[in-house]
Amino acid sequence: MNGIVVINKPNGITSHDVVDRIRRKFRMKRVGHAGTLDPLATGVLVLLLGKSTKLFDRFVDFDKAYRATMILGTKTISADTEGEIIETKAFSHITEGQIKEVFERFQGDIEQLPPMVSAVKIGGKKLYEMARKGVNIERKPRNVRIDRLDIEEIDFPDVRFYMECSKGTYVRQLADDVGDALGCGACISQIQRTKVGPFNIEEAVTIEDLNEDHIRDWTD
């Protein structure tokens, strides 16, 4: 069995958990994913089956799109609501105009520091593995690209937004950076990946509903 499937990953499990479930479902060993989603994140997760696992490099460079919600006034160690709170600050003085102005600064080519909870490897070690041990590793900013960054709703302290970006762009780090720029701090409470390259959330299937009819041929 070879090909790809587009999964709508649920909240609360890792991308590797999804891979394990698909291995058991189809009783096969060669299953991999093309782009990690952490437990907090939901949405499009592309899985490669059988011989298609060799095509990983074709998928990993795809641009991506997300819908997310950030909470103003709370800064955490992981830049999301699952991490330990570092600081809380007042946000009542922040205006919608200020938020929109700061969001505009982060469009285009920017530098972004990979978060400690990311899967980026430094010295052969994944950052999130070091973070779990309480170790903070010095990181260098990386060049990323944000093609579109739209505020969809502001309902203080929540700011809901949509983002289209290059690979390697971290939504939680964007929220952390926006919060710092506003002076009140911020963190992510919800992330949904809506698109990976040509694959979008409308065509994604749940793990429970997945069957062999959803496997696409993508072996050449």
Q: Give me the average pLDDT of each 10-residue run along the chain (220 residues).
A: 92 93 92 88 94 85 96 93 92 97 97 72 60 62 95 98 95 95 97 96 95 78
DSSP per position, 30-45: -EEESS---TTEEEEE
pLDDT of residue 112: 93
Map out the domains of the chain as residue ranges.
Answer: 3-61+197-214, 64-196
64-196 shares the fold of 3-61+197-214: yes
pTM equals 0.90
At a CB cut-off of 8 Å and minimum separation 6, what does 189 contact? 69, 70, 71, 80, 81, 158
Q: 51, exposed or middle or buried, with CB in 10 Å at 0-12, 13-18, 19+?
A: middle
pLDDT of residue 205: 96
What are the catalytic residues? 38
The CATH superfamily of 3-61+197-214 is Pseudouridine synthase (3.30.2350.10)
pLDDT of residue 121: 63
Is 115:79 a contact under the CB 8 Å cutoff? yes
pLDDT of residue 135: 56
Class of domain 64-196 (CATH, top level): alpha beta
Strand residues in the chain grouped as ranges (E) = 3-9, 31-33, 41-49, 64-72, 74-76, 85-88, 108-112, 121-122, 125-126, 142-155, 158-165, 186-196, 199-200
